[in-house]
Amino acid sequence: MTLDFSTLLPYTDQILHGLMTTLWLTAVTTMAGIALAIVVAYLRDGASKGRPSLVSRLLGGYVEVIRNTPFIVQLFFLFFGLPALGIPISATVAALLAMTLNLGAYTAEILRAGIDSTQRGQHEAARALGLSRLQSFRHVVLVPAFSRVYPSLISQCIIVMLGSAVVSQISVFDLTYAANFIQSRNFRGFEVYLVVTLIYLLLAVGLRLAFEFVGRRLFAFRQGGSA
């Protein structure tokens, strides 16, 4: 058994290209997915006070379908299924859409736990000040709810970043696609995948650190002590 990593060197460009794709897919998806989750959580939260409305049921169905089917099937369904319905979709758009829908569903559930743990007094104070339900959600409920579930949110974003390896299967030139590409040229599968796996590991660590950094700024209000 011999390992030879030197045959990887000519392919640095491909790896960098794939890395950039994985990075920007993750960045866009994280923002879009969180935005989607906020909308879903708001609409479901409203309905949970009374009898679940049709909208709430539909959104609940969306969350359950995403959570109980594999990401790769969601991706194939969008990429192969939508064109068959007459909706043309590029591989990149399919990847972005699938990742966003996936992260959105999980994050909506995570966020809901945070929203549910809002103290009643916060709602009452907002109402007594005359804030509408939407104003109260936006200005009073949302940020503390995020701060409470932030660790779960970080994990979920990392899971989606790692899961994005699958978009290589619809020919999006991401990190994994780069690995497959190189492997098909130099036939050094193990070495290529080992290196790319390590890059993913570094990405996961980096993403966590970045999130924690942002979290410390965003949720500075949680630290007590004298002003």
Partner 1 sequence: MALVSVKDLHKSFGELEVLKGIDLEVEAGEVVSIIGRSGSGKSTLLRCLNQLERHDWGTIVLADQRLDGAAMSPGELSQNVGMVFQSFNLFPHKTVVENVMLAPLVVKQTPRGEARRIAESVLAKVGMSEKVDAYPAQLSGGQQQRVAIARALAMNPKVLLCDEVTSALDPELVGEVLRVLEELAREGMTLILVTHEMKFARDVSDRVVFMHQGRIHESGDPQTLFTQPRTPELSQFIASVL
Partner 2 sequence: MTDFTLWDIVRNLLLAGRWTVVLSLIAFAGGALVGLVLTLARMGGLKPIRWLIRLYVDLFQGTPLLMQLFLAYFGAAVLGFDVSAWTAASVALTLFTSAFLCDIWRGCVEAVPSGQWQASRVLGLNYLQSMRHVILPQALRLAVPPTVGFSVQVIKGTALASVIGFVELTKAGTMLNNAAFAPFTIFALVALGYFILCYPLSRYARHLEKKLYGAGIR
Residue ranges binding partner 2 (CB under 8 A): 1, 3, 64-65, 67-74, 76-77, 80-81, 83-85, 116, 158, 162-166, 168-169, 176, 179, 183, 189-190, 193-194, 196-197, 200-201, 204-205
- Asked if residues 122 and 84 have their Cβ atoms less than 8 Å apart, the reply is no
Query: How many residues bind to partner 1 according to rule CB under 8 A?
Result: 26
From the list partner 2, partner 1, none, partner contacted by residue 76 (C-beta under 5 to 8 A by kind): partner 2
Binders in 98-157 for partner 1, by CB under 8 A: 119, 121-122, 124-125, 127-132, 135, 139-140, 143-144, 147
- Give the type of residue at 172: V
CB closer to partner 1 out of 193 and 219: 219
For residue 70, the partner it binds in partner 1, partner 2, none, with Cβ less than 5 to 8 A by kind, is: partner 2
Q: Which helix (H) or strand (E) holds 49?
A: none
127 binds, among partner 2, partner 1, none (CB under 5 to 8 A by kind): partner 1
Terminal alpha carbon distance of the chain: 62
Please give the distance of CA 53 from its chain centroid, rounded to a whole number: 27
- Decide if residue 46 touches partner 1 (CB under 8 A): no
Smallest distance, Å, CB 111 to partner 1? 15
CA distance 79 to 88: 9
Tell me if residue 50 falls in helix, strand or coil: coil
Is 216 a binding residue for partner 1 by CB under 8 A? The answer is no
Region for 130 from its dihedrals, namely left if φ exceeds 0, alpha if ψ lies in -120 to 50, beta otherwise: left
- CA 137 – CA 32 distance, rounded (Å): 19
CB atoms within 10 A of CB 154: 18
CB of 118 to partner 1, least distance (A): 11
Whether residue 101 contacts residue 73, with contact meaning beta carbons closer than 8 Å, is answered with no
Q: Enumerate binding residues for partner 1 (CB under 8 A).
A: 119, 121-122, 124-125, 127-132, 135, 139-140, 143-144, 147, 219-227
